Amino acid sequence: SQKIEQNSEALNIQEGKTATLTCNYTNYSPAYLQWYRQDPGRGPVFLLLIRENEKEKRKERLKVTFDTTLKQSLFHITASQPADSATYLCAHPRGTTNFGNEKLTFGTGTRLTIIP
C-alpha cells in the first residue's frame, strides 16, 4: 500500500540555522507532493506544492526538493526563526491524479522547534 513517512517526529534547530525536514514515500510515484504547516489546535495551512518534473521550488525562506529516484522530498527553512516552530506535514495524492480534487494522504508530521 502507499506509504508516506516523515522520519523525524521532532526536530530542534538553533535560530538562524537551516532546518531540513524529510518526507519519504513508498510503493507509489506521486505526480506531486505538498507541504503544510500546522500549529497546535489549528488546521493545516498549505505552503508549497512540487511536481514530479520539478527538482526544486522556492517561496521566500522555504525550499522544497523532490527526488523521484530516492522517493524523497526535502523541506528547508533557511534563517529559521522561533515563529517557524510548528508541525510540518507532507502529503501526496491518492489514486489517480488529474490535478483536480483528488484526496491527499498526509504524513504524521515533524514537530519543529526553533530555539532562540
The count of residues interacting with other proteins (CB under 8 A) is: 24
Q: Least distance in Å: CB of 44 to other proteins?
A: 5
Q: Least separation, in Å, of the C-beta of 114 and other proteins?
A: 22
* Closest CA relative to residue 4, chosen from 115, 114, 109: 109
With a CB cutoff of 8 Å and minimum separation 6, the contacts of 113 are: 10, 11, 12, 13, 85
Locate 59 and state its grid cell: 517561496
Options 50, 75, 109, 112; binder of other proteins; rule CB under 8 A: 109
Q: Amino acid letter at 104? A: L
Cβ-based nearer residue to other proteins, 32 or 80? 32
Binding site for other proteins (CB under 8 A): 34, 36, 41-46, 49, 89, 93-95, 99-109
